[in-house]
Structure 1
Amino acid sequence: MNAMYKFGVGALALATFATACTRDFSELNTNPEIVQNMKPEQLITQSQKTMVDRDFEWFYDNYSYIMPWMQFTVAYPNGNPESIFNLVSNVNGWYSAFYTDFGRNLADIERQVAAMGGEERARYAHIAAIATVHKVWGAWRATDVNGSIPYSEALKARTEENFTPKYDTQADLYTQFDAQLKGAITALTTPAAGQVTFGTSDVFYGGDAAKWAKAANVLRLKIAMRLIKRDQEKTRAIVAEVLASPAGLFTGITEEWKFISGTNNFARGGNWAAQGFANRGGKAVIDYLYANNDPRLELFFKKNAFDQTAFNRLKAGGAFPASATWNPRQYVGMPASPDAAKAVENSRLFGVKSFQITENGNTVTVNYDTLSTYQNRLFDLAADGGAEARYTQPFASYAEMCFLISELAVRGLSTEDAQEWYVKGVKASVRSYEQMGKDAAIVDFAAIPEADIDAYLANPNVAFTGTTDVLLEKIGIQQYLNHFKQPWEAWASWKRLGYPKVGGILNREAFVTNGVVRETPRRWALPVPQQLNRPNWSAAVSEMMSGGEYGSAPEEITGRVWWDKK
């Protein structure tokens, strides 16, 4: 097991937090315990820190499971193990963090404001609304992969001594989330004299109420899309409200809800690193990016070591015949299917290759890696030399929003121009990753010419042409690629849309182990609470199982939560 690296943020340190959006947390290395009666600006920074500083989750949830499941990466050198399809451990940390850390901080902010006198409470309306947006986000991410969770009665142990909160179903949760976000947007867009602001204590938007209102609208849109298999008319109604909202939506990548670190000690080594075992690129995704000249190829993955200089050296040393020519393709992925990775015909082709050559009259052995790794510095700033750089973590992106609006139009659930929003989404995704790559100082970074994006959009596999099903597939592929830095969202998009698919435009591999096709997991096991609230947990699990798709036990992670309907 990898060690878990953490650092705390205490009340006094939080009060002195000085800059917004581009900061490090590491110098705030004091007592991490929650202090009663902390001010809202202290609680918001503590909450945001916990939402961003997720190294343990990156190592286990993402590197070890979700990224291989989504075939972004493959374990090396032996390929993906069969164990990644079984009941997993050390995952689902977001769930416990919501209840034991940032969720209760956010609830405390809401309670503090609610307890104020009328005039003072009005001046803190934006403070409470921003906390609500964070709280809805946190609970939504928890329910997304767990199903029913405590919410309406949760986070009240300290104030109301409620230690047995009921579990709300996802149908009820989505209704609550939408109502709370609507209320927050109203508060954030209502002029109020003398409004108190989080200011620089808010690491995302510096307390800017207008930007938070837009983020809340995008979150409404994201959550509404989870209802599309259950209640399209409700999705349509929410979408109509969001698109007509005076608060607006994101207008570009500069308005995205994302964290950008400082250049010193954030996301460096430890659990941020994949430790080499799961950082080779997946064959299916690299083949698609390479074949279609996707500008994000070099932003996501690195060239292998087999360049022309290496080839010429081997050829001169007798490793290749005189007639051999160099293959200029240096982006090569590894099969994601365990059986395919172990097949003799593939095992000879993928990985570090040893060659014996003659140089200066001596026999020498040289090794070259023929596989591409992902751009490590997007995830771990200590990688590839550890130069000063900035780490970016998107929460809600402009490109994702564009693809959702395009999808809605294709489905007839809005009157927007589907092609226009699709093109905006592709361009925004490329530009967003270009900025992330530049800030992270990835290997061989180069700016992307606009002509390269235009050429990509003209490619038949990318161009916005085809039947409704083909258009949905193309949108789904772009949404999937755009979520490279948010693997949990790529997982959700794949579950909701079914893309990439086996045999599709981006040809996802079927996972096969020992000749048996394996199902890709679709959820986590709902954590078992302490004995006091076990009856409510049991009732929630029984209710989810009664739908027929959850599976026969909480541990059956190939089962489906309510929104993930077949």
Structure 2
Amino acid sequence: MMKLKYLLGTALIGSLSFSSCMDKFAEINTDPSIVTTPDIRYLFTQGLNEFIPSDYWSWYYDFTNMLHWGQVTVTSNTNLLNQPANSSGTGNVLRVLKIMREIDYQIQTMSEEDPVKAAQYKYVQAMMKTLVVYMGIQDTDMYGSMPYSEAALARYTDPALLTPKYDTQEEMFTSFDEDLVQAFKTLSNPVVVNGESVSQISLGYQDYVYQGDAKKWATFCNSLRLKVAVRLLHVNKKRALEIAQEVTNNSDYVLTANGTDCSNNFIYNQGSEWYHSQEDPTPGYGTKVLIDFMVQNQDPRVRFFFAKNDLNSKVIQAFFDSEAELGDKCESKIPDFIMDKIDYEVVNGKKVFKGWKAPGEPWVRYYGMPLTINASSDEAYTDYYDPTGKLHKVKLNDTELTYEVASAMQMEMYEGNRDYTFPDAPGAEIVQDKTDRPFYAMYFSAGEVNLYLAELKLVGATLPQSAQTYFNDGIKNSVEAWDYIAGANHIPYYDNAFDANEATIGLKNGELDALLTKDAYKLNGTDDLEKVYIQQRLNFIFMPNDMYVSMRRSGVPTKTSKYLKFENFRKDGADYILPRRCPMFSGDPTDQNYNNYQQALKDEGFTIGSNAEVLNKERVWYDNGAPEFGAGPNF
């Protein structure tokens, strides 16, 4: 794969392709440093580089909050769990929107001189539009109105449009769907000018997602409409079901299979030296309720989303050795919930590790943390939180080490240049994985599409397959695709085990078939819609915005679930109010668009600040009519 520095090439706006550069310079008869005609292929690559649905700031603020609110992760700092101190804010879509504006401008300018030459870029133009819609959906999901239809147009208008209007969320979703329909029509048909078909410019690896494959882009584009459809279910169910039917009517262009090496999915990698982030957001540990559910059902995705804890057989033996050496003075302690899974014998008065009890490695290495507020100071959870800071430490060979008994979110699924130290006994030789690897992200997939179709079928859409078929395929596609991503990112234990009593974590033969026999993983007429939403939730764990939107739309997990419960954050059982949108801030009166921003807030009924009760009550447009958190589906 090309390196990023080569892919970027001359991709910046205002740059020029240097092929036949001497001829170009002769044509313009001016200094080469002031050339102004960019190569549209490189503009597209720049737009793809700016397409970042999960950057550092999103994880540091919004996504980490959503994971906590969504009962995916927990940290010890839970006193103000529902009070977001900051946010990444809107504006991510502008990074790609401004590139699209330049592509549109260049094609329009070219068309005035040479319509046939301009028409060669129609597919590129449609691909860029699809990226913009994707980012626009994510921006508006938690923030509502924003500049969109008039945004990033100032340099192309006279007088300059410096105060773009704030489109309402309803207007944006109408635009999103119309734009996807038009982009799909372009990508799925020949481009014709004056009765003649016009060959399209080949992007090759300037498009490092689909290598310029128009069929795959058209499939992505058509299927992306389902992301729009499910968001409309509570405000315009009729239109949502129509969109689902229109999408599946184009049966050759629906993303319902991963393809070889998951090549049908939107898998994103900028190049061999792209690691995604140089920073280290720390969303925390998985919650006990979630990890217990996944382990009990032996869902392989728990191994891709969360890290093994530190208590491998070597560390277990170190605890035993410390106990034998120090006797009554030993304060170290293997938590009871882990000790129950250890098979050992006593030799000469000392415990010796023999193996793991059922369900065995790797399942016995995944444990979540209680999510109850102030659980760290609750004696019932001493084994988890080690409040004295002594229980999870082992001192041997003049070395003292502290071990993690719970499973943190696997952030090598976020960043390719993290280092990992394999847990071992104190004093043992340190073994690390310090290899920097190109990072692979998955932003849209057959698993997501099939689970949307299962949902839409259950709520009344006329679709060609049964909800059961979509559901089964959604689970299979999701597990297989996340297995592929975990392998591509070479997360710890995917390729190799560290000691003889460990197992690797890649997908094993027979696991998927066994998974589909579990009650929560099959539709049988009981709680079917809830089961679909549980699967959406699991598929979206490393796409926190979509995870939280699904939870908000569905009311799943539910407080009364037989499968995966929404747990109360408070030990006394009292309600704990969670935000339904991200906070808005007062804005800068010196900003030229300040008045439009203030009017948008007024029209939406949004007030300023981070109060959870306010953020729960003041909903974005398409959230109106959706159930309360934990209440379950209300269709």
Match of 2:407 among 372, 375, 379: 372
Equivalent residue for 1:64?
Answer: 64
Equivalent residue for 1:23?
Answer: none
Equivalent residue for 1:86?
Answer: 83
- Give the C-alpha shift of residue 242 in structure 1: 0.8
Q: Is the 8 A contact 1:541 1:554 kept in 2?
A: no
Distance 1:356 1:477, change over 3 A: closer
Whole-angstrom CA distance in 1 between matches of 2:43 and 2:11: 11
Counterparts of residues 193-208 of structure 1 (less than 5 Å): 193-208=198-213
- Give the C-alpha shift of residue 364 in structure 1: 8.5
Whole-angstrom CA distance in 2 between matches of 1:353 and 1:281: 22
Whole-angstrom CA distance in 1 between matches of 2:609 and 2:255: 38
- Give the C-alpha shift of residue 398 in structure 1: 0.8
Distance 1:16 1:309, change over 3 A: farther
Equivalent residue for 1:4?
Answer: none
- Give the C-alpha shift of residue 358 in structure 1: 9.6
Equivalent residue for 2:352?
Answer: none
Q: Is the 8 A contact 1:189 1:247 kept in 2?
A: no
- Give the C-alpha shift of residue 124 in structure 1: 2.1
Match of 2:435 among 384, 387, 390: 387
- AA aligned to 1:354 is L
Structure 1: runs of 5 or more not aligned: 1-6, 18-34, 546-550
SS of the residue aligned with 1:402? helix
Distance 1:444 1:553, change over 3 A: same
Equivalent residue for 1:535?
Answer: 595
Q: Which has the higher mean CA deviation after the structures are superposed, 211-220 or 120-129?
A: 120-129
- AA aligned to 1:442 is I
* TM-score, normalised relative to structure 2: 0.76
SS of the residue aligned with 2:391? strand
Match of 1:506 among 561, 564, 567: 564
Q: Is the 8 A contact 2:49 2:270 kept in 1?
A: no
Q: Is the 8 A contact 1:280 1:372 kept in 2?
A: yes
- Give the C-alpha shift of residue 243 in structure 1: 0.6
Equivalent residue for 1:104?
Answer: 98
Q: Is the 8 A contact 1:429 1:482 kept in 2?
A: yes
Q: Which has the higher mean CA deviation after the structures are superposed, 204-213 or 499-508?
A: 499-508
Equivalent residue for 2:449?
Answer: 401
- Give the C-alpha shift of residue 59 in structure 1: 3.8
Equivalent residue for 2:185?
Answer: 186
Whole-angstrom CA distance in 2 between matches of 1:353 and 1:423: 46
Over residues 13-53 of structure 1, what are the superposed CA-to-partner deviations in whole Å (9 max), with x where a residue is unaligned?
Answer: 66899xxxxxxxxxxxxxxxxx9643322222222212238
Matched, 1:255 2:303: no
Distance 1:244 1:150, change over 3 A: same
Counterparts of residues 203-242 of structure 1 (less than 5 Å): 203-242=208-247
Whole-angstrom CA distance in 1 between matches of 2:409 and 2:16: 37
Matched, 1:264 2:273: yes
Structure 2: runs of 5 or more not aligned: 18-34, 192-197, 343-355, 357-363, 421-432, 495-504, 627-635
Matched, 1:46 2:46: yes
- Give the C-alpha shift of residue 302 in structure 1: 2.3
* TM-score, normalised relative to structure 1: 0.84
Q: Which has the higher mean CA deviation after the structures are superposed, 133-142 or 385-394?
A: 385-394
Whole-angstrom CA distance in 2 between matches of 1:114 and 1:401: 34
Q: Is the 8 A contact 2:62 2:582 kept in 1?
A: no
Equivalent residue for 2:528?
Answer: 471
- Give the C-alpha shift of residue 366 in structure 1: 5.9
Rg: which structure is higher? 2
Match of 1:354 among 391, 396, 411: 391
- Give the C-alpha shift of residue 520 in structure 1: 2.1
Q: Is the 8 A contact 1:393 1:485 kept in 2?
A: no
Equivalent residue pairs, number: 525
Whole-angstrom CA distance in 1 between matches of 2:475 and 2:366: 21
Whole-angstrom CA distance in 1 between matches of 2:538 and 2:456: 19
Whole-angstrom CA distance in 2 between matches of 1:394 and 1:487: 12
Identity %: 26
Distance 1:356 1:240, change over 3 A: closer
Q: Which has the higher mean CA deviation after the structures are superposed, 412-421 or 387-396?
A: 387-396
Q: Report the RMSD for the aligned CA atoms in angstroms.
A: 3.2
Counterparts of residues 105-120 of structure 1 (less than 5 Å): 105-115=99-109, 116-117=111-112, 118-120=115-117
Distance 1:489 1:63, change over 3 A: closer
SS of the residue aligned with 1:174? helix
Match of 2:583 among 521, 525, 536: 525
Whole-angstrom CA distance in 2 between matches of 1:16 and 1:305: 52
Whole-angstrom CA distance in 2 between matches of 1:357 and 1:236: 59
Match of 1:425 among 448, 471, 474: 474
Q: Is the 8 A contact 1:353 1:370 kept in 2?
A: no
- Give the C-alpha shift of residue 353 in structure 1: 5.2
Equivalent residue for 1:28?
Answer: none
Distance 1:562 1:533, change over 3 A: same
Equivalent residue for 1:22?
Answer: none
- Give the C-alpha shift of residue 471 in structure 1: 0.9
Distance 1:11 1:53, change over 3 A: farther
- Give the C-alpha shift of residue 70 in structure 1: 2.1
SS of the residue aligned with 1:228? coil
Counterparts of residues 109-188 of structure 1 (less than 5 Å): 109-115=103-109, 116-117=111-112, 118-160=115-157, 161-188=160-187
Over residues 538-563 of structure 1, what are the superposed CA-to-partner deviations in whole Å (9 max), with x where a residue is unaligned?
Answer: 22212211xxxxx5446543332111
Whole-angstrom CA distance in 1 between matches of 2:390 and 2:108: 65
- AA aligned to 1:108 is E
Over residues 330-375 of structure 1, what are the superposed CA-to-partner deviations in whole Å (9 max), with x where a residue is unaligned?
Answer: 211112232334322113433575368897xx99966432111222
Q: Is the 8 A contact 1:226 1:563 kept in 2?
A: yes
Q: Is the 8 A contact 1:502 1:509 kept in 2?
A: yes
Counterparts of residues 256-295 of structure 1 (less than 5 Å): 256-267=265-276, 270-271=278-279, 273-274=280-281, 277-295=282-300
SS of the residue aligned with 1:303? coil
Q: Which has the higher mean CA deviation after the structures are superposed, 158-167 or 59-68?
A: 59-68
Distance 1:562 1:554, change over 3 A: farther
Whole-angstrom CA distance in 1 between matches of 2:480 and 2:620: 34
